Amino acid sequence: MRNDLIIVVVVITALAFDFTNGFHDTGNAMATSIATHALGPRTAVALSGVLNLVGAFLSLSVAATIASGLVETSLVTPTVVFAGLAGAIMWNLATWYLGIPSSSSHALIGGVIGSMLAAAGAHAIQWQNLVAKVVIPAALSPVIAGLIAATGTYLVYRISANIADGPRGNGFRIAQVGSASMVSLAHGTNDAQKTMGIITLALIANGSLPAGSNAPFWVIVSAGLAISLGTYLGGWRVIRTLGKGLVEIEAPQGMAAESSSAAVILLSAHFGYSLSTTHVATGSILGSGLARKGAEVRWGVAGRMASAWLITLPAAALVGAASFGIAHGIGSTAGVLVTLALLIAAAGFIYLRSRGTAVNAGNVNAEWAGPVAPGQQPSATAIA
Amino acid sequence: MDKWINLTALWQILVVGLLAGAGLPALVALGLVALGLRALAAPDASGAAVGYSPARVAVAALCFAIVLAAIGYGIYLIVIGGH
């Protein structure tokens, strides 16, 4: 049963996923602060990275696994976890390349469900829990967050209507950084725990840990570091879409949006819902755009995101299933290593393609002209 | 229906979310309005030196204190974890 080489590969892949989770989601907390110049781009990602690390250590109760209640954990093997992670990483990289903020949690759940389906069939999935705990909250959370952000934005502009823009902006920028910091902290707690849970699940499946174990300390440390480093790298493409593409953001709006995000994420976690930070943050930013007079909401960008959200679960599941197929088809350790090589090759390809249209700290705030990368010609594949 | 949606949690998230997510930004705005904001326009002038009425400063302080307390409670929620 025990296979230590596979478990090493699984842990490294899980940390790689955690890393993509970090840079994919930097924008959720920091896009609005970067767009309003409340923080310099480099300062913003550094602050968010540190807070994600703090957040990873903050919670006293580290969930055993994200997958409990969604799949039959007794049927999980390290290869299933590995294939699921491969699906999640591919989806995160593809959406990052396109500059689409999409849920890393959904990518992870989708990937694991896909590889589980391929490994054990439909009975291994708890479909009702999947709908009740993942699909329905995912549909509701952006709407609720948007509603709260819109209310907040309306109130803030109403109350401060008679104050000149300059001084108003300064006060609100400080508050905006505070609210964005809360989102970063909550993100570190929620999302780093998902990786801790998935590594623990693989360790239990491998027999390295007894069933029902909590995450060991080295898992907590490494997962916290991976997500923090990813956040610090800054997913500039996604930051740009959220901060500049979706709506034009002013500081009071940014503060209302981040406050709404922080409130919804923390409350939902309190009630046991593991929401997607991305869905909440995007809903909030959209809501803050709707409530400010004169703010242009680019519905084309929003629609593109929404369609990406709809296909996140099935697309990650498909790659997860295919990865399991390859790994299992070739067999044991060699199969996992071949799949790993394919994953690294695909990731390298996407990275190289992204160099042609790089978005970085220098051009992240450039005027939005259609495609995610400034200066790029609009094309069929670019955000319209 | 309850099998699919926890309506109790849903309306609590909505109500408390509105209080915290929309109410706190409104309090920040209120506090900034009470302060008059000139001090923020000129960073070198300290708030007291400009000579605001004590009442305005008190309102602002109360607003910001509530906001900070709520943030503290939010961090407490993170520390104790879900459920």
Query: Which tens digits make up the pLDDT trace of A223-254?
Result: 999 999 999 988 888 888 888 888 888 888 89
Residue A111: predicted pLDDT:
92
Answer whether residue A144 shows pLDDT above 90.
Answer: yes
Which tens digit of pLDDT belongs to each residue from A186-219? 888 888 888 888 888 888 888 888 877 778 889 8
Residue A375: predicted pLDDT:
61
Q: What's the gap in Å between the CA of B26 and the closest CA on chain A? A: 5
Question: What 3-state class would DSSP assign to A125?
Answer: strand
Residue A50: predicted pLDDT:
92
**B57 near B35, Cβ under 8 Å?**
yes
- Exposure string of B15-42, with b = 16+ CB inside 10 Å and e = fewer, is ebbbebbbbbbbbbbbbbbbbbbebbbe
Answer whether residue A276 shows pLDDT above 50.
Answer: yes
This complex has an ipTM of 0.80
| Chain A residue numbers touching B9 (CB-CB < 8 A) | 271-273
Q: Best mutation site among A141, A156, A220 for testing chain B: the one with the most B CBs within 10 Å?
A: A156
Which of the 8 DSSP states describes residue B20?
A: I
Q: State the sign of the Cα–Cα–Cα–Cα dihedral A151, A155, A156, A157.
A: positive
Residue B49: predicted pLDDT:
45
Between A300 and A168, the higher pLDDT residue: A300
Answer whether residue A381 shows pLDDT above 50.
Answer: no
Closest CB from A168, A182, A267 relative to B17: A267
Residue B24: predicted pLDDT:
93
Amino acid of residue A256: A
Please tell me the distance from the alpha carbon of residue A212 to that of residue A195, in angstroms, as a whole number: 16
pLDDT > 70 in chain B, percent:
73
Please tell me the distance from the alpha carbon of residue A361 to that of residue A10, in angstroms, as a whole number: 32
Please tell me the distance from the alpha carbon of residue A139 to that of residue A277, in angstroms, as a whole number: 13
Answer whether residue A360 shows pLDDT above 90.
Answer: no
Answer whether residue A357 shows pLDDT above 70.
Answer: yes
Mean pLDDT of A50-59: 86
Helix ranges (DSSP H) in chain A? 4-35, 41-58, 78-97, 104-120, 127-129, 136-159, 165-205, 217-233, 236-240, 251-270, 277-291, 299-330, 332-355
Range of A104-118, A235-249, B38-52 with top mean pLDDT: A104-118
Range of A106-120, A165-179, A347-361 with top mean pLDDT: A106-120
Residue A113: predicted pLDDT:
92
- This prediction has a pTM of 0.85
H or E element: which one contains A216? none
Residue A380: predicted pLDDT:
39
**Contact at CB, B9 and A273, closer than 8 angstroms:** yes
Mean pLDDT of A63-83: 77
pLDDT > 70 in chain A, percent:
92
Mean pLDDT of A254-279: 87
A323: tokens are 């990865």
Please tell me the distance from the alpha carbon of residue A64 to that of residue A139, in angstroms, as a whole number: 25
Please tell me the distance from the alpha carbon of residue A181 to that of residue A51, in angstroms, as a whole number: 7
Answer whether residue A114 shows pLDDT above 90.
Answer: yes
Mean pLDDT of B43-60: 64
Residue A260 forms contact with B (CB below 8 Å) = yes
Answer whether residue A75 shows pLDDT above 50.
Answer: yes
- Find the closest chain B residue to A257 by CA distance: B21
Between A162 and A186, the higher pLDDT residue: A186
Q: Lowest-confidence range among A10-24, A349-363, B12-26, B45-59?
A: B45-59
Alpha-carbon A359 to chain mean position? 18
**Contact at CB, B21 and A259, closer than 8 angstroms:** yes
Between A124 and A226, the higher pLDDT residue: A226
**Contact at CB, B26 and A179, closer than 8 angstroms:** no
**Contact at CB, A255 and B25, closer than 8 angstroms:** yes
Which tens digit of pLDDT belongs to each residue from A213-224? 778 889 889 999
Amino acid of residue A353: R
